[in-house]
Structure 1
């Protein structure tokens, strides 16, 4: 639920827009303050953190009033696309890497080159916000797609944490089955999801790229092998069935099996560790994802959690740039956000807050350091990349629920995905 402040500011912004009928974010009644609209998605805990950061920025910049436009993840891009199409884009927008090329290609984003101080940012990560040589986005922080494990749940079922440097997908399925069987019937060994990052890692272990020269580089055989992992989990009761997993996924992160102590394993981004541990009330462990027995590449990759961008249509460009600069360069902002949007890529900010990081964030930092040499470079998806999650989810649900055969689903998925990339 939105806080009273955010709700009130949204209402004020809506009235201002109705009055001026257009794409800017007009001032308040007295004209003394600039209203800066800022869109982002996430959980309730992220909303609270973000409002604290907004308050800190407003205190340092009393002539700027930041209006937080918050939504859950499933509805975020639909809402943002509608606003951008109507020339009503927020001044500062949070965009995931999959949508970066698409929004930059539409001319919706401002080139931030020279507008935000990037001197202390990791140059390799910063490059992930560049499209066609222009810096359209600034990464919020970095993370990796990893396995979260509840050690207490695993041991209660008479099992042990796996060696994540050597475990395989078959061992993951087998261990999940044993944990479910060793429990009281209320706990599953694992939950699964259809995140494109998971498929990217799985495909890389088979020597394939998700994107290859503007097309999908994954073969039908790899898709079918990937789906077979879900089928094995369901058939062995290592995970809930497709219908129950659909309900869990729709309920959001805080109702996941890991967050509610009803599951031992779950795949999530490393920056989500803190929120998941808080929801569960238990210590959680980050692990590498399993590998195929003959894989020479672990497939895991470093990725910005998301990016800060500014609207090319903003009437308050200078203020938008100032807010982004604060978010990425100010130690106070870093000390509030911690690893919620990935660990800071600003070396000075990270050094300033390192000792203040709570245990979950300390673990995230240690984990990232331990796997850094194994990670592949960041890849910016081509236009149409933002549609991949929905396409992948629809066909994967059809396969796991038995509504479509893997052969048919693989053929149609690749056709639809490549059509989306072709525009």
Structure 2
């Protein structure tokens, strides 16, 4: 582990500026759609996406879309809106235009259509996504109040790394604060 100040400095950097992205760390846990940024930051070095090892039948992996498409509950055109969302998510014509710009498609058939059209790094991320779709689970949409999770985990991680709290107390605090955020969300 690097010095805690280095860890904290890397919390909010773009992928190409992180320790891994600059070739100063051998590995990182990250989102698969960031492989192009990591590859660019490492000066074109080969970056490989691998699934984490497991000793159970569960992979521990989940697929989290970069974006969720939604329809306003008060739209005057619910059927037309549903057709548009369906077209954006499931039709090859839309996928060929969007490619990876809004994240990779989760529909395996649509993903197969776009994969050969993608830039090399995005194609590698698509191959990884195909593996994860077989062994992982789809992450549900984030609940109201859940948007504090990343900031909360980074703050508590900083407190643990700098010795302001123990790992056990940090874990307890994380659960309490996230539970409160979820309970009071509108």
Give yes or no for TM over 0.5: yes
Gaps of 5+ in 1: 1-233, 235-239
Question: 1:242–1:310: structure 2 CA closer, same or farther, 3 Å change rule?
Answer: farther
Structure 1 residue 241 and structure 2 residue 30: aligned?
Answer: no
Matched positions, count: 183
Distance 1:262 1:323, change over 3 A: farther
The CA deviation at 1:400 is 1.2
Seen in structure 2, the aligned counterparts of structure 1 residues 288 and 329 have a Cα distance that, compared at 3 Å, is: closer
Partner deviation per Cα, 1:99-152 (whole Å, 9 max, x = no partner): xxxxxxxxxxxxxxxxxxxxxxxxxxxxxxxxxxxxxxxxxxxxxxxxxxxxxx
Name the structure 1 match of 2:37: 275
Higher share of residues assigned strand: 1
After TM superposition, the structure 1 = structure 2 runs for residues 112-191 of structure 1, keeping only pairs within 5 Å, are none
Q: Name the structure 1 match of 2:13.
A: 251
Say yes or no: does 1:361 pair with 2:122: yes
Q: Which has the larger radius of gyration?
A: 1
Q: Which SS does the other structure have where 2:27 is aligned?
A: strand
Distance apart, 1:327 and its partner CA:
4.2
Matched, 1:266 2:28: yes
Structure with the greater relative contact order (CA < 8 A, sep ≥ 6): 1 or 2? 1
Give the aligned partner of residue 352 of structure 1.
Answer: 113
Give the Å deviation of 1:409: 1.9
Alpha-carbon shift at residue 325 of structure 1 (Å): 5.9
Counterparts in 2 of 1:21-420, with a 5 A limit?
Answer: 234=1, 240-280=2-42, 281-291=44-54, 295-311=56-72, 324=85, 327-329=88-90, 331=92, 333-346=94-107, 349-420=110-181
TM-score where L is the length of structure 1: 0.37
> Root-mean-square deviation (CA), in Å?
3.2
Task: Flag the 1:288–1:387 CA change in 2: closer, same or farther, 3 A.
Answer: same
Gaps of 5+ in 2: none
Are the counterparts in 2 of residues 383 and 421 from structure 1 also a CA contact under 8 Å?
yes
Q: Secondary structure at the match of 2:29?
A: strand
Change (3 A) 1:296 1:317: closer
Change (3 A) 1:399 1:290: farther
C-alpha displacement at 1:310, in angstroms?
Answer: 4.4
What is the alpha-carbon distance in structure 2 between the residues aligned to residue 415 and residue 301 of structure 1?
24
2-side partners of 1:316 and 1:309: how far apart?
13
- SS state of the match for residue 126, structure 2? helix
The normalised TM-score by structure 2 is 0.76
C-alpha separation in 2, matches of 1:421 and 1:386:
9
